[in-house]
Structures are given as C-alpha cells and as structure tokens.
Copies of this chain bind each other. A is one copy, B any other.
Amino acid sequence: MKYCVKISYDGSKFYGFQRQKDKITVQGELEKALGIINKGMVEIKGAGRTDVGVHAYGQVVHFNLDFDIPPERLKEALASIVRPYIDILECKQVDSSFHARFSVKSKEYVYKIWRGNYDPCKYSYYLMYDKDLNVDKLRECAEVFKGKHNFHNFVSGFRDNYNGEIFNIEVVEENETVLLVFKGKSFYRYMVRNIVGAMLSYNEGKVNLETIQKMVNDSDFNYQLPTALANGLYLSKINYD
C-alpha cells in the first residue's frame, strides 16, 4: 500500500533532509521508524530536500508498506517513534500514481525575520536582524522576483535550466516578526535564501533595484549577493492537484 504523510520538523536537529551515512537526517529517521513498523526496509521520497538548519511544517513524503494499516493508526505509530523533533501532521493512503515530488503543483516557503531584541532561544528559528527593516523596500524588491525568470544568479549548483516562476512574495508584519511568504512553481537549491539575501541587501542600501532586476532578467549577467541564514527558513506547504 502507498501512503503519503505530511510532516513538520525542527531542522536545527538534523543534518538536512536527505539520508546520509552516520548522520541524523529527517529521511534517515523516518525510514528507520517505518522500517520498525513495516518489519523491513522502507524508502521514502520527499517533495523536496531541505538543507541543514531549514525547518518544515508542511513537508510531504510518500512510501510503500508491505501491508495495509489504517492511516490514523500509522500516523500515531510513526509520531510516537519520530518525536520530539519530527511530527506527523497528516497521513493518508494514496493512489499508486501519486509521487511526493513529481506530482507537486506549487510550493510555499516562509522566511522568518526577528527584529526584536536578540534572543538566544530564537536564534535557530529566525534570522536575528539588528538593522532597520523597511518593509516598503522589501515589498518593492519582492516585485522584481515575481513571475517567470531565469534564476541562475539565485541558485547554487549546476542545473540544465534555471527557469522558474514565483507567484507571490508577501511581506507580513507581526509585532517583532517579519514574515516573507513565498509561493511558486519551483524553488531550486538556496533560491529562497538567495532571494531573501538580495532583499536584505537592498534594504541595507548595498545594492540597487536595477542590479537586482538585471540579475533576474539578464541570463548573461553574473552577480552574487549574500545568502540569508538557513535558520529562518521553513518549507510551509506543498500543493498538489
């Protein structure tokens, strides 16, 4: 039987999502737990990898079990093994055609910035930002990234193509927190963190809007800006049909 589960995790407790020999990863812990339940090896596929330090409250994975188990019972059995730093939010049986990664229609990420006083207990869960944060400038810069672009200046590593589409970047103020909410079709490695890095560079007057516009529109123009820390990033939602 094929199952799909929605999970949340504290990314500061793992060496990223992807299984690695001798390292504690989200995939590794889930596969270990499923191996106990299934009494035999289980391989999972995730909607997308998250890097070291990146959190999730809407990651989706699929896998096959050798037998039939009610989703509600599987959810509880799994949660009891993978907690405290991973939780199982939803569990359902899916059609054999479902694929956690290939069936994705769009994704959402949230980047959390803390503009209050420095707080060691929040360090792993926010970007601690001690400079002035002008949300109007962030919104102005966000506009540049919306739509279809060649994101080669914002992606780490080599790919066949860097074309992507961002539907929306919303800037939400909530007391000491500023949330950057990303919705889009495809996010490649470091892409959200590099876009946040560009938005913050613009906020700090270290780059002008024309340069950022050129970075996303001119595929011959190579330019790098700082990458924002992983700590503030959350994979928040995966949308399927």
- Residues of chain A whose beta carbon lies under 8 Å from any beta carbon of chain B: 8-10, 13, 55, 57, 83-87, 118-121, 123-125, 128
Contacts and interface: CB of A to CB of B under 8 A. Distances in A.
B84 A123 contact: yes
A86 B10 contact: no
Contacts of A125: 121
9 contacts: A8-B120, A10-B121, A10-B123, A10-B124, A13-B120, A55-B121, A84-B120, A85-B120, A87-B119
A87 B123 CA distance: 11
A117 to B, nearest CB: 8
A14 to B, nearest CB: 10
A121 to B, nearest CB: 5
Contacts of A13: 120
Q: Which of A8, A84, A121 has the most CB of B within 10 A?
A: A121
A87 B120 contact: yes
A142 to B, nearest CB: 25
A57 to B, nearest CB: 8
Given A9-B120, A10-B121, A85-B123, 13 more contacts: A8-B119, A8-B121, A10-B120, A10-B124, A55-B121, A57-B121, A83-B120, A83-B123, A84-B120, A84-B128, A87-B119, A87-B120, A121-B125
Q: Which of A55, A87, A120 has the most CB of B within 10 A?
A: A120
Nearest to A12: B121
A235 to B, nearest CB: 12
Nearest to A125: B121
Contacts of A123: 10, 83-85
A85 B8 CA distance: 23
A7 to B, nearest CB: 9
- Shortest beta-carbon contacts, A-B, top 5: A10-B120, A84-B123, A10-B121, A85-B120, A87-B120
A13 B123 CA distance: 11
B10 A87 contact: no
A188 B8 CA distance: 37
